[in-house]
Structure 1
């Protein structure tokens, strides 16, 4: 269970090492305070509160407000903030993802957990809703008790029991100027096309939004083949077009741009890189046993005519899609270490870079959790570009309505 001190430390955005240095106490003290084994001095609490409060930015500085649903580690938030947006509400159920989110976005307000437990009226007013919702089949299996909340009028149908339902009920209640939804490419074909058909019908016919969709490959921005469907909607008709996207040449960036140089030009970071040359720690190199297993597995499937196998890459390559299962064996992206040498996994910092996060992004969780989080994240530059071309149309809808959501959580 998280202690008050641990929560405050996260809101301040400090790691244990940073807190130790800035507060003048040993890391052992910080850990004991985090675990609730000892009580910190009041002066320590005041310093942390001041730091946390310094991160709060008034909503008047923002071009528009937005809410971040199924937020993960905040990739879509990063994109919307790059277009001048101000986040007023966050929902994410996974505790480890919350920890990373709070370390990077210390807003001085709590993260809502399970969105199914949050009433639509309890979500602040906002101009844009953003969500990377899970892909689930729809059915008419009945009303979920968790979704009941007494606010389901008009939606007792095939979307109930899915998390997309929660996107719908919040859109219906608040009627924001626009929304941005993200999902895997196969959403269009999921459940023989029925899933996407229901989504489109709900958004267009029942809620009255005009929607635009496009599958975008992150390989235009980062050295990774990663296709995702983007769904943008506006409350009022606007001349939005995905054709306005500026897509750099596909593959212009190669893995060299995200790999640790291991030549002393970057400082060592935690347990990722070590020594004066910041060499990648040996812990990321595959064991003989695992490397042999992966080679045998690939050979077996090649003999059967299948394409299953590991992805061995070098600095001049583009990686396969980073997935949430990367923590298991790293097989989809293995970095070559030369002939006769076992390859290695990417470090979590390299995974962050591969998803478009700069090196200021804090990684306060274990490698296992970090791999899951980056594998589940969006490629930030893709959605920053989408947010950029959305902005003038969002402002048009807001201006035409003469209204603006200003309530800050």
Structure 2
């Protein structure tokens, strides 16, 4: 299926309707459909606009709330399935700016969730939350240990935010929830932290809960393991383990998200320039920083540690993108011919996290590079959440199907 064909079908348009509404002859549209030629960007934008109109005018299949929303990775996955976001909470002002730039918001974008009473949040079918992971991540725990600070549920600032999720679930009793966190959540504090979370969700709140650690490698050229926690209010046959992953041979490499720098991608002036769309020199490491990183890596190699930079080419798969990427980019450096390696651009980070495709609509990056790196490093990988959302959808909608079936039986009787 061509990108045009996929968009056309999402918009619910026939080939004849595209030709009539956009002023082209049907033969031209058939050529777009088959991939013989490609339509210009304005045509694709018009069709995307039709999809937006369709979503806005359609009755939602379910409602959801987006907690610790960041830049909307969860929303980006659940909205196309017919979900309507009725409440969003994100405390960071820069992330709020990016969120507003990329989503049509018809409700208040709330700040600190700890200051919002559960009854002030609208009723909803699904609760989505990537609650802050720093207190449970390997890096976060190491840093706090070195500073002799508490972590996990002993952390007064972020570790207890899970309980804000719990109090909202307790008050609203949504049909389902999806939570995401770092893989280390399961082993933190010898498993005691995870046990508390599971006990809260299963015993105190009474939900049917399953978990799964998923590596984003099946969808994007990045090893990024995260734990996903799915809960349903009612018993059902949902099986998280049956979510299929793609074969390793079919998984993408970094080439799929890098700027091609060969003229096939139009330069944007912010990240790339010139007739070939070359990445700007400011993303290439200075001699000073490159020397420092090499010396640092050698020092730890001699000490038997695994610390050091990660250097990759177009056929490789990257390490995990982190929120600290803005500091030196050391975890994912791109090899360059006869030059020092370079950082990924924020546009490439957007693609690496699945917020856009090279041939798709650009994700609006309306903040500085530093803030953009932090936002993408803290985000969920969108295609992973899309896969989980599709796996959950039949069970989210199941209650409505049962009600409709009962009404039909009563009507016949």
- Range of TM-score over shorter length: 0.7 to 0.9
C-alpha displacement at 1:270, in angstroms? 3.5
Q: Following superposition of structure 1 onto structure 2, how do residues 61-210 of structure 1 map, counting pairs within 5 Å? A: 61-135=59-133, 136=135, 137-139=152-154, 162-210=160-208
Alpha-carbon displacement from aligned partner over 1:125-149 (angstroms, at most 9, x marks no partner): 100000000244225x9xx9x9xxx
| Residue 274 (structure 1) aligns with | 273
1:37-89 Cα deviation digits (max 9, x unpaired) = xxxxxxxxxxxxxx9xx979558532111000000000011111232211111
Aligned-partner SS, 2:85: strand
Matched, 1:320 2:322: no
Q: Note if contact 2:254-2:317 (Cα within 8 Å) is conserved in structure 1.
A: yes
Is 2:389 the partner of 1:393? no
1:375 pairs with 370, 374, 377, which one? 377
TM-superposed CA distance for 1:248, in Å, is 1.3
Q: CA deviation at 1:367?
A: 0.2
Question: How many matched pairs?
Answer: 332
On the 8 A contact 2:55/2:82 being kept in 1, the answer is no
* RMSD over equivalenced CA pairs, Å: 2.1
CA contact (8 A) 2:322 2:377 kept: yes
CA distance in 2 between counterparts of 1:109 and 1:57 reads: 16
2:229 is aligned to 231
More displaced 10-residue stretch of structure 1: 128-137 or 382-391: 128-137
Aligned to 1:362: 364
How far does residue 389 in structure 1 lie from its aligned partner after superposition?
Answer: 0.7
CA contact (8 A) 2:349 2:373 kept: yes
Structure 1: 5+ residue stretches without partners: 1-50, 147-159, 403-409
Describe the SS at the equivalent of 2:297. helix
Cα distance in 1 for partners of 2:109, 2:80 equals: 21
Name structure 2 gaps, 5 residues minimum: 1-48, 136-151, 405-413
Per the TM alignment, residue 180 of structure 1 is displaced from its structure 2 partner at its CA by 0.2
Query: Displaced runs of 4+ in structure 1, greater than 3 A?
Result: 54-60, 397-402
Mapped partners of 1:270, 1:222: distance in 2: 26
The two structures have a TM-score, normalised by structure 1, of 0.78
- Structure (1 or 2) with the greater helix fraction: 2
Q: How does 1:325-340 map to 2 (within 5 A)?
A: 325-338=324-337, 340=338
Q: Which residue of 2 aligns with 1:289?
A: 288
| Cα deviation, residue 264, structure 1 | 1.0
Give the deviation of 1:298 after TM superposition.
0.5
Change (3 A) 1:161 1:398: farther
* Whole-angstrom CA distance in 1 between matches of 2:351 and 2:218: 14
How far residue 360 of structure 1 moved from its aligned partner, in angstroms, is 2.4
